[in-house]
Amino acid sequence: MKHVITALVQNTPGVLAHVSGMIAARGFNIDSLVVGRTEEPELSRMTVVVVGDDQTLEQVRKQLEKIVTIVRVRDFKEIDYVERDLMLVRVSAAPEKRAEVVELANLFRGRIVDVARQSLTVELSGPEAKLEAFIDMVRPYGIRELARTGIIAVQRGEQRNKKSEQEG
């Protein structure tokens, strides 16, 4: 089972190595690991996707909380969240097949970001399943190169119901 965990970490050298080393040393399988700046320059957000059972998730979360440079750990097991993955894929597209690849990109709400004589590069973002479906659709044309960012996630905003709006 896939588990998404985020960690707010101090933006200092060695934090990524420390976290990934801790996870690897304990034999956990990392499916995706993404790190990026936040709105606060001294903090970065790590999103780690770990494959394993609930016990694996709990062990990873507890180990992360012990690391001094980690400010906060959140697992999304029981939280409603939004996830996205970004992909660039260069697809073989001879002139006679180019329209088909462009149509597929449009159906998946992708963008053509580079056009060459025998290929097109498509930028696509969305849930992991959407990207996987696109890959399956363009595979027959020939995938020349593929790069993905990995999953990033944030908790969904709180939704106010009509009753609390009327009372407030």
Residues 73, 138 within the same domain: no
CATH number, domain with residue 111? 3.30.70.1150
Element (H, E) at 6: strand 2-10
Residues 72 and 89 in one domain: no
Residues 17 and 49 in one domain: yes
Q: What is the pLDDT of residues 25-82, one digit of tens each?
A: 877 888 999 999 999 999 999 999 988 888 878 888 888 888 889 999 998 888 899 9
The verdict on 105 and 140 lying in the same domain is: yes
Same domain, 22 and 87: no
- Of 79, 96, 115, the residue at which a domain comes to its end is 79
% of the chain with per-residue pLDDT over 90: 64
92 and 138 inside one domain: yes
CATH number of the structural domain spanning residue 56: 3.30.70.260
Query: Number of structural domains, the chain?
Result: 2
Q: Which domain holds residue 100?
A: 82-153
Domain C-terminal end among 79, 107, 122: 79
Do residues 21 and 89 share a domain?
no
Q: How many Cβ atoms from other residues are within 10 Å of residue 16's Cβ?
A: 14
Q: Which backbone phi and psi does 59 adopt, to 5 degrees?
A: -65, -45
Angle at 145 between CA 139 and CA 146, to 5 degrees: 80
Q: Which amino acid is at 143?
A: I
Angle, helices 128-138 vs 98-107, to 10°: value is 160
CB 26 within 8 A of CB 48: no
Q: Read off the pTM.
A: 0.80
The answer on 114 and 101 residing in a single domain is yes
Separation CA 48–CA 94 (nearest Å) = 38
pLDDT (tens digit per residue) in 86-133? 999 999 999 999 999 999 999 999 999 999 999 999 999 999 999 999
**Last residue of some domain: 38, 63, 79?**
79
Q: Give the integer Cα–Cα distance in Å for 90 and 12.
A: 34
Cα–Cα separations (whole angstroms), residue 24 to 15, 30, 87: 14, 8, 25
Residue 165 has pLDDT above 60, yes or no: no
> Kind and range of the H or E element at 75?
strand 70-75
Residues 27 and 68 in one domain: yes
Place of tokens 């993955």: 85
User: What would you report as the CA-atom Rg of the chain, rounded to the nearest whole angstrom?
Assistant: 20
Q: Report the pLDDT value the prediction gives residue 168, as an integer from 0 to 100.
A: 47
Confidence of residue 161 (pLDDT cuts 50, 70, 90): low
